[in-house]
Amino acid sequence: GWRCVDAFAGSGALGFEAASRGAAEVVLVERDAALVASLTATRQRLGAEAVRIERADALQWLARAPAASFDVVFLDPPFDSPLLAPALVAAARVVGPDGFVYAEGPEPAAAQAVGAAGLEPWRDGRAGAVHFALLRKAAPA
């Protein structure tokens, strides 16, 4: 029943998985037109009614999204891009109380989250060259 956003959706794997596990709403944000077409075809093929696809720049979309409006934000920006740090800050704003941010990238996201107000490391690890982290929205002090 959670509300999720998969920013930098790419193939949409994270978002479609969330939908298959019962998310009430999943927004896939992708700026590449060819990938948006592929996501649309996949949505139709799977009959994923909870999935909405937005063609947009992920950082700009997150900046416009209402504050505290999602339970989970998935961040998997293009590998070796400088987008993870600003995406963590943007995600911290849109994730609700007790929500989570899942992040992947070439650097440990838990360390970058220190600069993202309101996020704290929950779990993290590494698979080959990819570091992943589940960050939790910190309770207000």
Q: pLDDT tens across 112-126, in order? A: 665 556 788 899 899
pLDDT of residue 52: 98
| Pair of tokens at residue 85 | 């740090």
The DSSP secondary-structure symbol of 65 reads S
The model's pTM is 0.92
Residue 140 has pLDDT above 70, yes or no: no
H helix count then E strand count, the chain: 5, 7
Give the sheet arrangement for strand 25-30, strand by strand: 51-55, 25-30, 3-7, 70-75, 95-105, 130-137, 119-127
Cα→Cα distances 103→34, 41, 45, 133, Å: 24, 26, 27, 5
Proportion of the chain above pLDDT 70, given as a percent:
91
The DSSP secondary-structure symbol of 78 reads P
Q: pLDDT tens across 75-109, in order? A: 999 988 889 989 999 999 999 988 999 999 887 76
Q: pLDDT tens across 20-68, in order? A: 999 999 999 999 999 999 999 999 999 999 999 999 999 999 999 999 9
Alpha helices (H) along 66-117: 84-94, 109-113
| Pair of tokens at residue 60 | 């700009």
Cα→Cα distances 28→7, 50, 124, Å: 6, 11, 23
User: What single-letter amino acid sits at 117?
Assistant: A
